A and B are shown apart, each in its own frame.
Chain A
Amino acid sequence: MPTVNLNKNELEKLAGKKLSIDKLKDRISMLGTDLEDIKGNEIIVEVFPDRPDMLSEQGFARAFSSFIGVKKGLREYKAKKSNYNLIIDDSVKNIRPFTSCAIVKNLKFDGEKIKQVIQIQEKLHVGYGRNRKKCAIGIYPLEKIKFPIHYRALEPEKIIFTPLESKREMNGNEILEKHPAGKEYGHLLKEKNKFPVFVDAGNNILSMPPIINSENTGKITGKTKEIFIEVSGFDYNVVSKCLSIIVCSLIDMKGIAYEIELKYGNKKITSPSLKPESMKIDINYANKILGLNLRENDIKNYLERMGYDYSKGKVIIPCYRTDIMHQADIIEDIAIAYGYENFKEEIPNVSTLGSEDESEKFKRKIKDILIGFGYLECNSYNLISGDVLNKMEIKMNNIKVLNPVNIDYNTLRSWMIPSLMKILSENKHHEYPQKIFEAGTAFEKEESENLGLLSCHANANFTEVKQILDYMFNALGLKYNLEEAEHDSFIKGRAGMIKCNGKKMGYIGELHPKIITNFNLELPVAGFEINLSELSKLVIQY
């Protein structure tokens, strides 16, 4: 989960109230975030991924102060009119088609503030921006830029500028190959024949999104007071929302925002869009879902505690909220404001009949028989190493998973006995006889519940496991027969295919000494494997 680092003093100032640590902890957690750590004056809070607007000190404090009742209701965010223009060229259409931009003036980037701005940018990149894939943010000192700006795509060879943190000019390809940011995010531009750039009226390249800004025109410092911000991506709504989140935080830092007119061909869009949206709310529906009897006035009050306004059946939603898709999202916020701790729990008088899955019942009965024979139940992963399966010396079409993090567990087991052999090989230092079984899932062509059983001791043999098989089938009221099987995991002439009603159910036999040696064991092993899913079908018919 994403986290945000907050300065406790700053938070108190912004939220407008001082709270004891315990109260702070409690309120933060009841707002739906989680206080992860307090280090001196620094508070680290986990924020749910649907609330990117809370990933800055300002955004968090904004939500928090409403929630604790200090500053309730919708805040007004506005951008002033201006003459700034930005022209979006057709050439970006198939590359990175959208951008949304703003100007913010009157900023003071002293040490703490500049850190905050970088934090917002990074957190938005990682979460909401899906590592710059969905949207990427660029911030530039306004004094170095001449409007109008063009957003266009150029051949990489024609893109020549000095990227941030670099001492020399590079072209687009060189940046991808050599610059650290290029190496990290270059894959986002791979297979494109042109790369997107922002170019100002002086023909200076400001940046090559979503990779890197220019060292000359795209570096903000403690002295920067006025900035140009752009967000680029693949969906206008997404980039516009992302821009709103940053601009609102900058306004909370006492910045003054100015509009930019975006020219998409003949279409003109004014950006940033800080206007609140509205959504209808059905108060009956809200009460039904929450199990409450809230009146319109209560609803209004709770909505204001979550930073909304309410007017005549409509909820006014601040522009920085990205997560409101359905009134259900608003209803949850009402519940949070009402306080999860204040709900009266109730178990409704609804009668339904419980029932267990038949296969689970069957499995338990089989297990009880084996436990009665003194066998110990084991429990292993369905994912196993392909090497373990290979030790059985038979070829099967094992199902592999694509790029597993743990290479030792890369294959779904096709039968149970390999897992059990592995267990025996890891328990050589413990007392014998070792008699074990496992009923679990195996993946041979189809998924099935399988039973594997092994007996390992100095005199382990075919007879002893066949006795168990005999008893089991008898107890189930079934008859089985064994057909001599050619199975390389077992000793030839001591292996049988178990058949019931003409259907293959599994194998029984003495494990071949080669297999025993493959698993580094020294004692004889005998056992069987049965497909319980198939077997249970025969039993349930009776």
Chain B
Amino acid sequence: MKEVAESLSPLERKIFPLIKDNISLNELIDKSRLKEVEVIRALQWLENKELINVRKESKEIIEIDSNGRKILKEDLPEKRFLKSILNKELSLNEIIEKAKLDKDELNAALGLLKRNSCIILGNKIKITEAGKKYLNDNRIEDFLKKLPLDKNKADKILYNELKGRKELIKENLVKDRISDLTSKGRELQKLNLKDDYIESLTINVIKNKEWVNKKFRRYDININVPKVYPGKKHFVNEALDYARRIWLEMGFKEMKGNIIQTAFWNFDALYTSQDHSVREMQDTFYLKEKGRLPDKEIVNKVRAAHENGWNTGSKGWQYKWNPEEAMKKVLRTHTTCLSAQTLSKLKKEELPAKFFSVGRCYRNETLDFSHLFEFNQTEGIVVDENANLRHLMGYLREFATKMGFPKVRFRPAYFPYTEPSLEGDVYDPVHKKWIEFIAAGIFRPEVTKPLLGKDVPVLAWGPGIDRIITAAYNIKDIRDIYKNDLKQLRESKMWLK
């Protein structure tokens, strides 16, 4: 109990002694002369300490309205009417002038006075005994003066009468908080609540050693504090940085390049035939302008690879290759175009070499819960004379394990620029199912030889990174990746890998 006493904040200290059973918020505001928010806060804290119980109640309150206020200043119109003829009978027009009645007031007054037989009508209007009595009746004024008033406590008959008159009174639904003391609270009120605890540790408290003889007010350390949010990285970039770190750990060098590419690098250099359906407008974003092709030497080799296989040992696609088609500018459909550019610049003495890239790619696709037209891709290549399919699988398992998926299985797949090709599924232990995770293969000689000048095995793979992000963050609708809902970003959990 003593600890509780020590933990009362200055606000609570002011409010708590005022509390008795069934006390309303307004009463406490009145008595404490504190602001409403302060009292509410104090009540909440006291309730947390189980000293009081607070009930929320809503009450209908009768309040005075515009005409009501006017009456308190100027008297009731019917009384003004009666007063004007108290000593002398007058015509209606004379009354209107003398009593200063407007049209509304006159109609209201006439009706009421007739109903109550306060006047006798004629050319000149006469006051009756009832009228004289009415002048001395102050029930209405008294009622108005008492407002605001709880509807339940008001005189029903009078209330109904006044409600019928124009804008005299109005009702308001008011939410109130009613406090009661708990047994613990009752006990605490018996104690003498000293007020000389140290509230804040100020410079003076330290300098003047005030803390030597005084106690610190105890905090309720479990109290809820207002939320704050730090600046932070977007969760997608966290995941991409994580992938980047894995590539770096595995000894890969980062490749960077443009999003706008010529079809040459995006398709032709990767041995995608010019009539392949991925090159159609429904699948790939094209721009109006055309780009420039690289060195003639490379272009001619790529052309030959398409037309007849060049000297790669391949038959090629057996069609006439069109440079105009290759000059079209596209938004890259994969980061593999960067791998192609890297191979074209790589010198033989730099082997073995490993490269990776992370970046945005595009597909002209309708946006829905499982499809994005703009997505992230990361991929790597290993250029090594001695590389083989078993190595590729080894790298893939290592990569997947580092990504958090040690259970991997491989099955055949098809990609236009790799042969053999494979797909790696990983087991998602949370959702308990296999998910397609990684696309991989060894570049076809028709890709490698024209670019590198030599048929060296190039292992290549790329995980579906957006898939991992949606799994890690339990995102059902892939569009949420780019939703930028600030509340969601502020509250998103940390990338823990």
Interface residues of A (CB under 8 A from B): 29-32, 48-51, 130, 133-134, 235, 237, 288-292, 325-329, 331-332, 335-336, 340-341, 343-348, 350-357, 359-360, 364, 367, 370-383, 399-406, 409, 412, 423, 426-427, 430-431, 434-436, 441, 443, 447
Contacts and interface: CB of A to CB of B under 8 A. Distances in A.
A343 B389 contact: yes
B444 A328 contact: yes
A66 B275 CA distance: 32
A400 B288 contact: yes
Interface string B327-367: 00001000000000000000000001110000010101111
Interface string B249-277: 11111111011100000000000000101
B326 interface: no
Nearest 5 pairs of A and B residues by beta carbon: A32-B412, A291-B388, A48-B414, A291-B390, A332-B420
Contacts, number: 232
Interface string B421-457: 1100000000000000000001011100000000001
Interface string B304-329: 00000100111111110000000000
A345 B397 contact: yes
B4 interface: no
Contact of A49 (B237, B395, B414): B414
A325 B231 contact: no
B384 interface: yes
Given A51-B414, A367-B233, 13 more contacts: A290-B390, A325-B316, A328-B442, A328-B445, A331-B420, A332-B419, A335-B412, A345-B390, A354-B247, A376-B490, A380-B482, A382-B374, A403-B364
A235 B318 contact: yes
B248 interface: yes
B18 to A, nearest CB: 34
A352 B353 contact: yes
Contacts of B384: 348, 350
B106 interface: no
A326 B391 contact: no
A352 B412 contact: no
Contact of A343 (B258, B309, B393, B442): B393
A430 B247 contact: no
A404 B250 CA distance: 38
B158 interface: no
A353 B253 contact: yes
Given A347-B391, A352-B354, A379 B236 contact: yes
A264 B388 CA distance: 47
B420 A354 contact: no
Contact of A289 (B232, B313, B457): B457
Given A373-B231, A376-B490, A405-B366, A341 B409 contact: yes
B130 interface: no
22 contacts: A51-B414, A130-B275, A130-B277, A289-B389, A326-B419, A326-B444, A345-B396, A346-B393, A347-B391, A352-B353, A354-B252, A375-B231, A376-B231, A377-B237, A378-B489, A383-B362, A401-B364, A404-B373, A406-B366, A409-B373, A436-B486, A441-B259
A378 B234 contact: yes
Contacts of B362: 383
Contacts of A350: 352, 382, 384, 386
Nearest to B248: A354
B230 A374 contact: yes
Given A382-B374, A401-B285, A359 B256 contact: yes
Contact of B484 (A340, A354, A423): A423
B494 interface: no
A401 B234 contact: no
B388 A290 contact: yes
Contacts of A31: 412
A332 B421 contact: yes
A431 B487 contact: yes
A405 B252 CA distance: 36
A441 B256 CA distance: 12
Contacts of A357: 254-256
B421 to A, nearest CB: 7
Contacts of B140: none
A130 to B, nearest CB: 6
B495 to A, nearest CB: 13
Interface in B449-493: 457, 481-482, 484-487, 489-490
Contacts of A376: 229, 231-232, 486, 489-490
Contacts of B275: 130, 133-134
Contacts of B259: 382, 441, 443, 447
Interface in B376-432: 382, 384, 386-391, 393-398, 409-414, 419-422
B388 A289 contact: yes
Contact of B482 (A291, A381, A404, A431): A381
Nearest to B446: A326
Nearest to B481: A379
B66 interface: no
B286 interface: yes
Contact of B249 (A32, A346, A354, A430): A354
A402 B420 contact: no
Nearest to B436: A34
B282 A405 contact: yes
Contacts of B286: 401-402
Contact of B414 (A50, A371, A379): A50
B193 interface: no
Nearest to B386: A348
A31 B365 CA distance: 30
A328 B287 contact: no
A369 to B, nearest CB: 10
A475 B281 CA distance: 46
B388 A403 contact: no
A346 B394 contact: yes
Contacts of A412: 260, 331
A353 B384 CA distance: 14
B365 A405 contact: yes
Nearest to B390: A291
A34 to B, nearest CB: 8
Contacts of B303: none
A382 B412 contact: no
Contacts of B253: 352-355
B244 interface: yes
A47 to B, nearest CB: 9
A216 to B, nearest CB: 34
Contact of A406 (B229, B314, B317, B367): B367
A326 B312 contact: yes
A345 B281 contact: no
Nearest to A324: B315
A366 to B, nearest CB: 12
Contacts of A235: 318-319
A356 B252 CA distance: 8
Nearest to B254: A357
B262 to A, nearest CB: 14
A447 B390 contact: no
Given A377-B234, A443-B260, A351 B388 contact: no
Given A357-B254, A380-B482, A400-B288, A370 B231 contact: yes
A373 B231 CA distance: 7
A372 B398 CA distance: 34
A360 B421 CA distance: 31
A352 B251 contact: yes
A442 to B, nearest CB: 11
Interface string B160-177: 000000000000000000
Contacts of B382: 350
Contacts of A447: 258-260
A443 B260 CA distance: 9
A327 B314 CA distance: 8
Contacts of B365: 405
B251 A353 contact: yes
Nearest to A30: B411
A434 B233 CA distance: 15
A376 B256 CA distance: 25
